[in-house]
Amino acid sequence: MPLSIVIIGRPNVGKSTLFNRLVGKKLALVDDRPGVTRDRREGEGRIADLEFRVIDTAGLEDEAPETLAGRMRAQTERALDEADLALLLFDARAGLTETDRHFARWLHKSGKPVVLVANKAETSAALADLDDAYRMGFGEPVPISAQHGEGFAELYERLAPLVAEGEPPAEDESPKPLQLAIIGRPNVGKSTLVNRLLGEDRLLTGPEPGITRDSIAVEWRWRDRDFRLVDTAGMRRRARIEEPLERLAVADALRTVRYAETVIVVLDSLQPFERQDLTIANLAAEEGRAIVVAANKWDAVPDKGVALNRLRDRMTASLPQLDGVPLVPVSGLTGFGLDALMAAACEADTVWNKRVPTPVLNRWLAAIQEHHPPPVAAGRRLKLRYITQVNTRPPTFALFSSRPGELPESYRRYLVNSLRKDFDLPGTPIRMMLRKGQNPYART
């Protein structure tokens, strides 16, 4: 495995900016205000030919364990335990503070190798004030500017002896992990659910709404299958979003949905299917993702049988375009229903990747037209000539017709619903493209 490097420092010294620079993408949210990062975030870092695993962490603050800042520090401590090397970042323009020195002493006690990095050192004045950094006990500080990309040659020289050299690892021939995004409104228990799946307090949780800001990806294995779980920020209605930072967090969540394969939409069982829940589910459907609905906090529901029937009826009425989508009652607090949830996610992925042979589809199309012919338009009956599946993920079909522009939307929905029922495609979005012409594969 590649060397694991954790970036540590007090708030607002540029840890997330350095993380984004090392991974080559704007993965972590960056803002001028301190405390933007709360959970630890991981990515594949690189400087020239050095490759390593890099972990971004929350800013270190000396607060009580029960506070939000204290819980954030606990996440950083776990990241340090798992890492091989720490980069202790400080603000070269502000100079060393007592907080920097306090956490330097903490890092000395950890026994981990530490490289001291002076960020925001793009000016000569900042470089002139680095003498005090030698007293930290980590050797010569490496001056860089993460924002402007300066000083990385020096950082390379310090890291090169520590990064394991040798032949590149053999390519992994095992199947790629299933990209599984966890989405929903704020405070429905997404992070608690992910922690229960992982069996550890990997993500920061608490009673405060909106704790999660970044989309945090975690590698995980369940029943001999690899997953990449991605916890996301809670998505409120656009009209209620006032803070620019929340807009960034929601945009990050939306980007996660676009790159996911299967999406678990988490509801609060005590307040299910609010307007925003339906908006979020529709968003996942429009992106063409495989969908599973998790009714969380099921342990707090009093009459579970009646509640489950009510949920299913409401989902059928509110999400007709996702007829058959799995609805799984779960509890992130107790662990109830999590095996059923993962089984439903795997089954949804199977349906999402399903392919129907073209001859079978065209026999089906002939039977459909005989049972329920297309409507008449301008005095002539529309002719559906040929159908084929052109893609999976989600199942996508091309339907060739004599006058595709005149086929009513109601009949197109009838065809999609019949496809879903007759070929066992429950819950997954189905796309149907209308094309004009004869059978494109017929001999001329």
Residue 149 lies in a domain: yes
Q: Does the structure show a pLDDT above 70 at 230?
A: yes
First to last CA, the chain: 57
Domain closes at, from 352, 372, 390: 352
Number of domains in the chain: 3
The pLDDT confidence band at residue 291, using thresholds 50, 70 and 90, is very high
- Which residues are paired to 246 by β-bridges? none
Q: Are residues 28 and 115 in the same domain?
A: yes
Q: Do 420 and 276 belong to one domain? A: no
Q: Are residues 239 and 365 in the same domain?
A: no
Q: What is the CATH number of the domain that holds 409?
A: 3.30.300.20
Segment 265-283 shows an average pLDDT of 91
CB-based burial label for 146 (10 Å; 0-12, 13-18, 19+): buried
pLDDT at 153: 86
Residues 6+ apart with CB under 8 A from 47: 22, 152, 155, 156, 159
Claim to verify: residue 395 and residue 339 sit in the same structural domain: no
Q: Is residue 183 part of a domain?
A: yes
> Is the per-residue pLDDT at 147 higher than 80?
yes
pLDDT digits (tens, 9 = 90+) for 74-105: 777 787 888 888 888 888 888 888 888 887 88
- CATH number assigned to the domain comprising residue 243: 3.40.50.300
Q: Looking at the predicted structure, is the pLDDT value of residue 24 above 80?
A: yes
Distance CA 289, CA 180 (A): 10
Q: Residue 258's pLDDT is what?
A: 85
Write out the DSSP string of 166-198: SSPPPPP-SPPPEEEEEEESTTSSHHHHHHHHH
Same domain, 343 and 385: no
Mean pLDDT of the chain: 82
263 in helix, strand or coil? strand
Q: What is the pLDDT of residue 99?
A: 81
Indicate whether 105 and 37 sit together in one domain. yes
Instruction: Evaluate whether residue 311 is within a structural domain.
Output: yes
Distance from C-alpha of 371 to C-alpha of 364, rounded to nearest angstrom: 11
Residues 344 and 400 in one domain: no
Residue 148 pLDDT greater than 60, yes or no = yes
Res 166 pLDDT > 50: no
Residue 264 has pLDDT above 80, yes or no: yes
Query: Which tokens sit at 70?
Result: 């204290």
350 vs 29, higher pLDDT? 350
The band of 295, judged by pLDDT with boundaries at 50, 70 and 90, is very high
371 and 348 within one domain: no
pLDDT band at 1 (very low <50, low <70, confident <90, very high): low
Banded pLDDT at 299 (limits 50, 70, 90): very high
Tell me what percent of the residues of the chain surpass a pLDDT of 70.
82
167 part of a folded domain: no
State the average pLDDT over residues 321-350. 94
Confidence at residue 444, expressed as pLDDT on a 0 to 100 scale: 45
**Distance of alpha carbon 50 from the chain centroid:** 26
- 236, amino acid identity: R
Say if residue 110 is in the same domain as residue 67: yes
CA distances from 146 to 38, 86, 95, 238, 385 (A): 20, 16, 16, 32, 59
Residue 442: inside a domain: no
Helix, strand or coil, per DSSP, at residue 56: strand
Residue 44 corresponds to which tokens in the numbers above? 């594949």
Final residue before a domain boundary, out of 314, 329, 352 = 352
Strands (E), 313-426: 327-329, 376-377, 380-381, 384-391, 396-401
Residues 118 and 65 both lie in one domain = yes
pLDDT tens per residue, range 173-195: 557 899 999 999 988 989 899 98
Give yes or no: residues 67 and 52 share one domain: yes
Cα within 13 Å of Cα(159), Cβ side: 30
Asked whether residue 172 is assigned to any structural domain, the reply reads no
Asked if residue 29 is part of any domain, the answer here is yes
The domain of 234 spans: 178-352
242 and 148 together in one domain: no
Q: From 307, 325, 352, give the residue that closes a domain.
A: 352
Residue 441 lies in a domain: no
